[in-house]
């Protein structure tokens, strides 16, 4: 892009178009995550033959997202957001096709490989929220980021409820019924990748760099981006207490959410499917369990995304720190309700809804605070590190949640998960109370907007 063409473009017009395109792509790609979250653990148990592998799909998916976050960030750093996002979405489409193949061949290994490729799509979807703030004005960063997060709601909520329509599609295509939902996933991911490939021009990251160079040094190159490694990213984070809190907020929220959410389908299957006088394998019991699981995960995902605009508004108006505190407070309430209400499907569902709401508030406010707490040349790498650590926390949560469920039960799993949320909530309150002087770039250090 030349200097003339960059100057001639209205950055805010490009920003509005960018948010619309990112939101549309999130909507389409959300179907893939929704289907995987709702039936992934059931597929894992079915194809592996052991409940010990129930958390393996969530673990592999989140671990792959963690591993892919920095390479995708480096790709965005070198080639722009468009190339990085499209690469992740195309890989996820391949993952959906591999899961279909795993069901047809009854291959557990192929299922794990498909989940790994879907993880690249998760990494791309996470990075899309940062692409939404590349050109955003400081007072609207929370709103822009939350709009893109919100857009995934329709697709993600629809995903868990595509089990029955997917079965019909699968049957029509000659596929096993449980593979049907992933047909929707593959199509949605294909459309999302095509939309961004064709429409995300000019690239928001590359345009923001050009505008910054023009404003600061008359088109002279600015500071060079930090090297895209975890070590360099963490070094940059340590230079800013606000960035450290932001990183802790999003990582802890993700770990708590994944740990509890990933085991809830199995808990509900045992609770509902085993509630009819021990007929665990009965068709009626299995159908009842699938309906309850689909509804619960749908409402949980709705909690994660549907109120994102509210959290974005609160992030901009009430403050970053305050909204982070709200998020982790909601997480504590959620695990209390789900854990102590473990024998009542309705209370488990309420807990999962609140779990999604807490994750949403903490993630939006934390991601906004992270994006504005660092120098421009540090942001993309640190954003990649943030997503890597989020994925790692999710992978650890998914891997350990099955063991915790077996050792201390569903209630114990929830209680154990509360420790992280409580720690971040305490840290947020302490930092908000101790910092009262104005901060640069989008707000007061105590988390209130300028």
What is the mean predicted confidence (pLDDT) over 158-177? 75
Token representation of residue 250: 């999003």
The pLDDT-based confidence of 278 (bands split at 50, 70, 90) is very low
Please provide the average confidence, as pLDDT, over all residues in the chain. Answer: 83
Residue 442: predicted pLDDT: 41
Residue 33: predicted pLDDT: 65
Quick check: 148 and 128 in contact, CB under 8 A? yes
Residue 226: predicted pLDDT: 56
The pLDDT-based confidence of 227 (bands split at 50, 70, 90) is low
What is the mean predicted confidence (pLDDT) over 343-356? 93
The pLDDT-based confidence of 116 (bands split at 50, 70, 90) is very high
CA 409/CA 348 separation, integer angstroms: 14
pLDDT at residue 436 is higher than 80? no
- Is residue 162 classed as helix, strand or coil in its secondary structure? helix
Looking at the chain, the whole-number percentage of residues with pLDDT higher than 90 is 44
Residue 3: predicted pLDDT: 41
CA 104/CA 123 separation, integer angstroms: 27
In 3D space, the residue among 417, 150, 436, 420 whose CA is nearest the CA of residue 321 turns out to be: 436
Residue 393: predicted pLDDT: 87
Looking at the chain, the whole-number percentage of residues with pLDDT higher than 70 is 84
Hey, what domains does the chain have and what are their CATH numbers? 8-434 (1.20.1250.20)
- Is residue 446 classed as helix, strand or coil in its secondary structure? coil
What is the mean predicted confidence (pLDDT) over 361-371? 94
CA 431/CA 449 separation, integer angstroms: 16
The pLDDT-based confidence of 441 (bands split at 50, 70, 90) is very low
Residues with Cβ within 8 Å of residue 72, at least 6 apart in sequence: 84, 85, 87, 88, 120, 123, 124, 127, 384
What is the mean predicted confidence (pLDDT) over 191-216? 89
φ, ψ for residue 165 (rounded to 5)? Answer: -60, -35
**Helix, strand, coil % (nearest 5) of the chain?**
85, 0, 15
Helices (H), 106-228: 108-131, 141-151, 153-158, 163-172, 180-199, 204-217
Quick check: 168 and 180 in contact, CB under 8 A? yes
CA 361/CA 250 separation, integer angstroms: 9
The pLDDT-based confidence of 37 (bands split at 50, 70, 90) is low
Residue 64's alpha-carbon distances to 162, 341, 381, 386, in angstroms, are 24, 33, 18, 14
Cβ neighbours of 375 (radius 10 Å):
15
- Is residue 157 classed as helix, strand or coil in its secondary structure? helix
Give the position of tokens 């409402």: 299
Residue 404's alpha-carbon distances to 187, 345, 355, 397, 409, in angstroms, are 36, 20, 18, 10, 7
Residue 228: predicted pLDDT: 62
Residue 404: predicted pLDDT: 86
**Upstream peptide bond of 202 is cis (omega within 30 degrees of 0):** yes
Quick check: 6 and 219 in contact, CB under 8 A? no
């Amino acid at each position: 892009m030349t200097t003339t063409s960059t100057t001639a473009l209205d950055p805010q017009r490009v920003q509005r178009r960018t948010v619309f395109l990112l939101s549309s792509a999130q909507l389409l790609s959300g179907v893939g995550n929704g289907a995987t979250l709702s039936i992934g653990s059931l597929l894992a148990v079915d194809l592996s033959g052991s409940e010990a592998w129930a958390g393996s799909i969530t673990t592999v998916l989140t671990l792959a997202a963690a591993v892919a976050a920095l390479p995708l960030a480096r790709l965005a750093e070198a080639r722009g957001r468009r190339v990085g996002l499209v690469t992740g979405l195309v890989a996820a489409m391949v993952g959906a096709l591999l899961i279909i193949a795993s069901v047809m061949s009854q291959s557990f290994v192929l299922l794990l490989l498909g989940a790994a490729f879907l993880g690249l799509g998760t990494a791309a979807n996470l990075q899309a929220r940062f692409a939404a703030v590349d050109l955003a004005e400081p007072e609207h960063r929370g709103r822009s980021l939350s709009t893109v997060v919100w857009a995934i709601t329709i697709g993600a909520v629809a995903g868990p409820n595509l089990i029955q329509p997917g079965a019909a599609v699968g049957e029509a295509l000659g596929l096993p019924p449980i593979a049907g939902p992933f047909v929707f996933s593959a199509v949605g991911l294909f459309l999302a990748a095509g939309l961004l490939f064709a429409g995300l021009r000019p690239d928001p990251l590359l345009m923001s760099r050009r505008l910054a160079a023009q404003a600061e040094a008359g088109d002279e190159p600015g500071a060079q981006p930090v090297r895209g490694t975890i070590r360099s990213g963490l070094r940059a984070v340590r230079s800013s207490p606000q960035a450290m809190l932001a990183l802790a907020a999003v990582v802890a929220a993700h770990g708590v959410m994944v740990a509890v959410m990933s085991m809830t389908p199995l808990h509900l299957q045992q609770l509902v499917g085993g509630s009819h006088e021990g007929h665990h394998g009965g068709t009626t019991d299995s159908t009842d369990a699938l309906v309850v699981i689909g509804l619960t995960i749908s409402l949980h995902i709705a909690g994660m995304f549907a109120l994102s605009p509210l959290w974005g508004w609160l992030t901009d108006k009430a403050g970053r720190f305050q909204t982070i505190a709200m998020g982790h407070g909601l997480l504590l309430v959620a695990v209390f309700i789900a854990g102590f209400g473990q024998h009542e499907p309705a209370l488990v569902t309420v807990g999962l809804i609140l779990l999604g709401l807490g994750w949403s508030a903490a993630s939006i406010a934390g991601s906004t605070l992270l994006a504005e707490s660092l120098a421009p040349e540090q942001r993309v790498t640190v954003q990649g590190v943030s997503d890597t650590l989020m994925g790692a926390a999710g992978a650890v949560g998914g891997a350990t949640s099955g063991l915790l469920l077996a050792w201390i039960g569903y209630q114990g799993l929830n209680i154990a998960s509360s420790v992280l949320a409580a720690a971040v909530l305490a840290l947020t309150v302490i930092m908000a109370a101790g910092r009262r002087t104005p901060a640069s770039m989008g707000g007061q250090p105590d988390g209130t907007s300028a």
